[in-house]
Amino acid sequence: MIRNLVAGSIFLAASMTAFGQAATPAVPAPTSQAPVTQAPPTAVIPTNGTWKVTGDVQGVSVAMTCALTLGADKAITGTCTDNTGSTSTPHPVTGTVKDQTLSWSFNSDYQGTPITVGLTGTVDPTATKMSGTIAVDPMNADGDFTAVLQVAA
């Protein structure tokens, strides 16, 4: 195809010269328009509030309520309360946010063994849902979760 294009250009130039016309190739005139740029997407700041978290960690169901507050320094504070056991002790959380991703953790125990539960989730564009992963240390157990922001009544 390139060979045909080059051969056609040579034939056109030779034909134009034979008929007394200049054989200069057509060059588009420069435009004075600035290139079109798109604005960066508007970041949705994850919403403060109470999140209902459900998930699974290696076959063990997870259900908790996390009341999260995002500070001006993008630090997350609040509490997470287990909704699956007979006791519902709130556990203080600490974490951070970057773009649409929240990461927070808290200390608890599982059958008498101290654990650290870490959650990392991405908030959807509506800022009312998130999904992500759960890691439980030192057990090296992990799983997935979804969370829905609870609307105040």
Domain with 90 in it: what CATH number?
2.40.128.120
- Whether residue 85 lies inside any domain: the answer is yes
This prediction has a pTM of 0.69
Q: Which domain holds residue 119?
A: 49-149
Q: Count Cα atoms within 13 angstroms, Cβ side, for 25.
A: 7
- Whether residue 22 lies inside any domain: the answer is no
pLDDT, tens digit, 9 for 90 and up, residues 100-128: 899 999 999 888 899 999 999 999 988 89
Task: Please give the average per-residue pLDDT across 147-152, as a whole number.
Answer: 89
Nearest to 117 by CA among 69, 37, 71, 63: 63
pLDDT, tens digit, 9 for 90 and up, residues 52-98: 999 999 999 999 999 999 988 889 999 999 887 666 789 999 999 99
- Whether residue 10 lies inside any domain: the answer is no
* Whole-number pLDDT of residue 116: 96
